[in-house]
Amino acid sequence: MIAKSRDEAAIAAVGLKDALAAERRIEPGGNLRASWEALLTEARGCTRCDLYKYGTQTVFGEGPLDASIMFVGEQPGDQEDLAGRPFVGPAGQVFDEALEKAGIARSEVYVTNAVKHFKFVARGKKRIHSKPNAGEIEACRWWIGQERSLIRPPVTVALGATAARSILDKVVTISRVRGAPLPLADGGECWVTVHPSFLLRIPEAGRRREERTKFVDDLRRIRDRAAELTR
Ligand code: URA
């Protein structure tokens, strides 16, 4: 991995400003928002694991603080690291399309990641995504715990194995737990599904279509369940 340049520090400063501006447009305000903004500012200075040394900036969660659904991804990718916002790159595009097909407005859900810094291996000018290890996931669980205790979403969706490990605090096999709610200690429930990047990596068009349909079906079930729980 490569250390941060001065340009990256400037990008990080813009990222924080944009993230705060975007969040302030979203209700509710008051103490909840103030607590969340304090958390965001604190997270920007996180040194709980070594990943802060290499990424451009912390990529915190975003979305309404009264959201009934919280989506949790793995970690920011290259574009998220530069923008300071989750799911804005290629995986974000797949995610957005699936949300739309499932009738879920992205502006109404909270979107975050299990690990808040981009982990990569430098290959020439390219930064290649590298999976976070157990220690990095564990170090970052503190932040997701804080986000969850402020937002208290009735439904939390783990997108992929890293997110599931962080939310459930154990290793699970996606195909075994997919499609049914798992109870969480705070009274909410966790739904596990695949990560949008998995859908991007499927080489065969037919299978890719099939898996995308299954993903949208999961999201529809999740949408209905969240509506049921908040009626
Ligand atoms: N993949 C993730 O898990 N999260 C992002 O924010 C982007 C890609």
Closest CA to 222 of 149, 148, 156, 152: 156
- 84 touches ligand 1 (CB under 6 Å): no
Tell me: the pLDDT tens digits for 58-115?
999 999 999 999 999 999 999 999 999 999 999 999 999 999 999 999 999 999 999 9
CATH hierarchy code of domain 6-230 = 3.40.470.10
- 132 touches ligand 1 (CB under 6 Å): no
Structure token digits, residue 115? 């690990």
Residues with Cβ within 8 Å of 9's Cβ and at least 6 positions away in sequence, in order, are none
Closest CA to 158 of 171, 148, 168, 145: 168
- Residue 74 Cα, ligand 1 centroid: separation in angstroms? 6
- Residue 77 Cα, ligand 1 centroid: separation in angstroms? 6
> Which of 62, 72, 75, 99 for mutating ligand 1's site (highest number of atoms within 8 Å of CB)?
75
Reply yes or no on whether the pLDDT at 26 is more than 70. no
Tell me: the pLDDT tens digits for 122-168?
999 999 999 999 999 999 999 999 999 999 999 999 999 999 999 99
Structure token digits, residue 99? 């949300």
Q: Once rounded to an integer, what is the mean pLDDT over residues 193-202? A: 98
Query: DSSP assignment of 117-179, as one string?
Result: S--EEEETTEEEE----HHHHHHHHHHHHHHHHHH--SEEEEESHHHHHHHHSS---HHHHTT
Give the ligand 1 atom nearest the CA of 162. 3
